[in-house]
Structure formats: C-alpha cells, structure tokens
Amino acid sequence: MAARLSRLEDAIDYHFTTPALLEQAVTHRSHNAKHNERLEFLGDSVLNFVVASLLYKQFDRIDEGDLSRIRANLVKQSTLAEIAQKLNLSDFLRLGEGELKSGGFRRPSILSDALEAVFGAVYLDGGFEAAAYVISRQYEPILLTVDPKTLGKDPKTLLQEMLQGRRLDLPVYLVVATHGAAHSQVFDVECRIDKLDIVVQASGNSRRAAEQAAALQAIERVEAIEPLKTSRSARRRH
Amino acid sequence: MAARLSRLEDAIDYHFTTPALLEQAVTHRSHNAKHNERLEFLGDSVLNFVVASLLYKQFDRIDEGDLSRIRANLVKQSTLAEIAQKLNLSDFLRLGEGELKSGGFRRPSILSDALEAVFGAVYLDGGFEAAAYVISRQYEPILLTVDPKTLGKDPKTLLQEMLQGRRLDLPVYLVVATHGAAHSQVFDVECRIDKLDIVVQASGNSRRAAEQAAALQAIERVEAIEPLKTSRSARRRH
C-alpha cells in the first residue's frame, strides 16, 4: 500500500510526514470507519480559500459577484473530478465491496470528495503553504484558460449579453413542438435573432433545457458572423 | 484618519504594512468606488477555512455534518456582527451620506461584511498566518462556550433528541387556537410531553414558529426536571 500511495504523492508533488493521513483521504466511508469525510470538510474549505485567493490576485478588476461565480465553477464536482482523473486518483481509492462492484471509483462525487480530502490531508500534514502549493499547482493550468466574462454563465445569459453588447434586441424563444408522454416529454424550441437572420432549433427534456441548448447554437452562429466584436468587447472589459 | 484606524489595529492586534488596505476594508460601497466588496469575498473564504480548521482540531470525534452545522452558526451574519461590535468596528466605517443618515453603521449586514473585509485585508497584508491569528483570537473565546451537540440546532430538533436520549415518546404539538386576519394570523400551539407531565403553550406568526417557541419552553422544563441526565448524555457523546 505504501508503495502505491507514493505514486499519488509524486502526482501531487507533496510527500507526507504522516502517510496515514493520505491513506485516510483516499478511504471512502464504505471501506471502513477511518474514512475521509472529516478531511473532506477541511479540504473543501482550504480549496475554496486558495482558489478565492488565486482569483483575487489574477483578476484585479472584476467584482465580487463575478469572482463568486467563477470560483463556484472551479470548485464544482465535475471540475474536481476532472482533476482527480488527471491524478489517477481512482487507482488509489479504498472502497467497500458494494461500491467497488458498482464502479464507485469512477463516480464523480466519490472522486471529487476524495480529492478535497487529499487537500485537507496535505494541510494537516504540512500546513497552509503546502496545501496552497498543491492546490495552486492543479489550478494554474485551468486558470490560464479561464474567461472571467463567461465562465459559469448559462448560454441564455451569455447570448443576451452578446446581443446587448451589439445593441441588438433580445432573442425570441418559441416552443415549436412537444412530443412524448407527460412524464418523458421532449420540447423543441426555436431561438430567433431577426436582425442577424439567425433561426436555430434544439430539443430538451424541459422547456428551459431546450432553450439553453438553442441559445448555445445561437451563440456559435453569432460568433461566426461577428467574431471581431466579441473579442474586442472581451478586451474592453478587463 | 490614520490615527483612528490605528485604534482598530490595536483592537485586532495586527498592524498593517499597507494601511490603505484596512481603510478599504472599512469602506462601504456607498462611500466611494474603492470599497470593500472584493476584500469581503476574500475575507469570507479565509474566515470559513480558519474556523473549519479550529473546529476540526477542537472536536476530534464529531462528524462532518455536525462540523458544517457548527461552522455555519459561527460565521453567520449575527455572530460576525457581534464580533464587529466588540471591536467597535462601527466607529471606523466609511459610509455614504444616505447610509450614514439611515444608521448604516449599526446594520448587521454592513458590520459583518466589513469584518470579513478586514480579515481579507489582513491576509493580503500579512499572509495566511497573520489572518489565522487575527481570526482565531476573535473566535477562541466563542469556541470555549460552544456545545457541539446543540449549537445551531432548532428547538424542536433539540427537544426530540433530549427525549430520545431518555427513551421517551416524541412530544405532541397541537394548534389550540388561531387569531387575526389571514395576512397577520397568530397561532397558539401547545406542546405536550405526557410522561413528564409537561404541557406548555406558545404563540407565533406561523404554525412552525409557534411550535419552535413551544419546544424552547419545553426544553427548559425538561432540563429543570432532569438536569443530571442531560449533562451525562452530553458527556457520553464526546
């Protein structure tokens, strides 16, 4: 076991004084009583703080509402699960038999919880600076690609902002058809931007989902028509 | 201004290398553009983490759900506003005229936001250890009095747990009367614990509020009848 965990230490570039802490961090509650949930509580909060600090320093002119939105996106389950996959965290998880059989090592919630617990374990073992280093190292490549204007916004909001930036009217959404039985309805929604001659259509299991899917298509069309304006308005903002 | 803020530095026992950060921390958005909202974002997250760490270390056997509940109670607006009052933070606030006239310096939301911003400013000025020191110093007296079994639980939950600990039946709540018009109704609720011969009554603007008020009275009665058992079961838990 110790040999295996040293590969995880290499991956996060931190070596434990007390390796039992790392072992606990990768132990799911289905495995045994010394599981990772308390460490996850601690790791979640050090992660939130370190990411807040990184964002505060990187984006010195965006307001706290946008900082919160971006952070929420960076610490959400799916982002954490992606980081966990890059670290091959699933190779090190200790799960109970039931979870093993049902593929728990692939489940995003189990992966993201264990990753938070690893951050918490690093903090307990090496102090705040060690945890900040380990977390920053995983987030720096992600932060290079963050567009603070768009990250974490839903397509309808983004489309609306794009059109407002061009002084165009809001898009019009229309349910053009519904199919299926009451419990499994599918909505077909059309999104129209008349001034740009854009009409796109998308489907979803709710009206809202179909509208978001249609907005996403419309965004691609607007960007194809007027790419320059998009990047200019992004530059102006920061 | 500098002379005034040095009194705040004395109160938090931290002296700034860059006093402009502290000045920004006490500046409400109604005062001018260089206000404290970004610092509040940062301060909120360092506060959450430091309190999480203090709780993790102080309560080594309670689970993450209870840790979350206790932390939520310790970092909520009213707790922060109380700390701000002890520090006389309102003496240092920089508010716009409108807020000044309407007594904004007494408003819990403005006080708690400014306190979080002060924590954020200390972190930027002196690093994590400085912020952890300043925050811990305010929370250590509070943590001495925290009962992890009860803090942040509502009276109905507490009463139920007390009775379960004594192997007694659940209390019975009964609406005995309602008064007033539809939009301003008052509910009278009775709470009965037959085995202990307890019947108490309380009022509230909703059925739930009245039940909680009645539960609070019932708790006092149960504790008066059986004080020893309460403290024994509390001891057993930790």
Residues B80-134: pLDDT tens digits?
999 999 999 999 999 998 888 888 888 999 999 999 999 999 999 999 999 999 9
Per residue in B151-192, pLDDT tens?
778 899 989 988 988 888 999 999 999 998 877 889 999 999
> Please, are residues B43 and B108 in contact by the beta-carbon 8 Å criterion?
no
Of B23, B99, B116, B125, the catalytic one is: B116
**Which of A62, A64, A125, A133 best probes binding to B when mutated, by most B CB atoms within 10 angstroms?**
A64
- CATH fold match for the domains A2-144 and A155-237: no
The Cα–Cα gap between A212 and A204 comes to 9
Active site includes B188?
no
C-beta neighbour count of B91 within 10 angstroms: 12
Model confidence at B227, pLDDT cuts 50, 70, 90, reads low
> Please, are residues B153 and B73 in contact by the beta-carbon 8 Å criterion?
no
- At B1, which amino acid appears? M
Structure confidence at residue A103 (pLDDT): 85
Q: What CA–CA distances, in Å, run from B28 to A144, B19, B134? A: 32, 16, 21
Interchain contact B68–A (C-beta under 8 A): yes
Per residue in A103-160, pLDDT tens?
888 899 999 999 999 999 999 999 999 999 999 999 999 999 888 888 778 899 989 9
**Which of A40, A41, A48, A67 best probes binding to B when mutated, by most B CB atoms within 10 angstroms?**
A41
The Cα–Cα gap between A181 and A19 comes to 55
* Interchain pair A48, B49: CB under 8 A: yes
What tokens were used for B153?
Answer: 């639980």
Tell me the nearest-neighbour CA distance from B123 into chain A, angstroms. Answer: 9
Cα–Cα–Cα angle for B79, B85, B86, nearest 5°?
A: 95
Structure confidence at residue A129 (pLDDT): 97
Average model confidence (pLDDT) across chain B: 90
Residue with tokens 């004395």: B10
* Interchain pair B38, A64: CB under 8 A: yes
Instruction: Report the complex ipTM.
Output: 0.77
Report the CATH architecture of A2-144: Orthogonal Bundle (1.10)
Model confidence at A52, pLDDT cuts 50, 70, 90, reads very high
Percent of chain A with pLDDT over 90: 70
Cα–Cα–Cα angle for B162, B56, A88, nearest 5°?
A: 120
Phi-psi region of B206 (alpha: psi -120 to 50; beta: other; left: phi over 0): beta
- Catalytic positions of A are 44, 116
Report the CATH architecture of B155-237: 2-Layer Sandwich (3.30)
The residue extents of the domains of chain B are 2-144, 155-237
> Please, are residues B73 and B79 in contact by the beta-carbon 8 Å criterion?
yes
Q: Which residue of A has its CA nearest to B130?
A: A128
- Residue B40 among known ligand-binding residues: yes
* Interchain pair A53, B45: CB under 8 A: yes
HEC string for chain B: CHHHHHHHHHHHCCCCCCHHHHHHHCECCCCCCCCCHHHHHHHHHHHHHHHHHHHHHHCCCCCHHHHHHHHHHHCCHHHHHHHHHHCCHHHCCECCHHHHHCCHHHCHHHHHHHHHHHHHHHHHHHCHHHHHHHHHHHHHHHHHCCCCCCCCCCHHHHHHHHHHHCCCCCCEEEEEEEECCHHHCEEEEEEEEHHHCEEEEEEECCHHHHHHHHHHHHHHHHHHHCHHHHHHHHHHHC
A177-181, B43-47, B162-166, B211-215: which is most confident: B43-47
Structure confidence at residue A227 (pLDDT): 61
C-beta neighbour count of B209 within 10 angstroms: 15
Interchain contact A64–B (C-beta under 8 A): yes
What tokens were used for B116?
Answer: 């979080």
A193 secondary structure, DSSP code:
E
* Interchain pair B128, A128: CB under 8 A: yes
- Beta bridge partners of residue A200, listed in sequence order: A191
Core vs surface per residue B45-76: b (16+ CB within 10 A) or e: bbbbbbbbbbbbeebeebebebbbebbeebbe
Q: Which residue of A has its CA nearest to B63?
A: A38
* Interchain pair B67, A41: CB under 8 A: yes
How many Cα atoms are found within 13 Å in the side-chain-facing hemisphere of B175?
A: 13
**For range B31-51, the mean pLDDT:** 95
The Cα–Cα gap between A47 and A136 comes to 9
C-beta neighbour count of B18 within 10 angstroms: 12
Q: Which residues of A are annotated as a binding site for Mg(2+)?
A: 40, 113, 116
The candidate with the shortest Cα–Cα distance to A167, out of A69, A213, A112, A233, is A233
Q: Is the dihedral angle over the CA atoms A118, A123, A129, A132 positive or is it negative? A: positive
What tokens were used for A60?
Answer: 């010195």
Biggest CA pair distance of chain A? 64
Measured in residues, chain B has a length of 238
Interchain contact B99–A (C-beta under 8 A): no
The Cα–Cα gap between A99 and A6 comes to 24
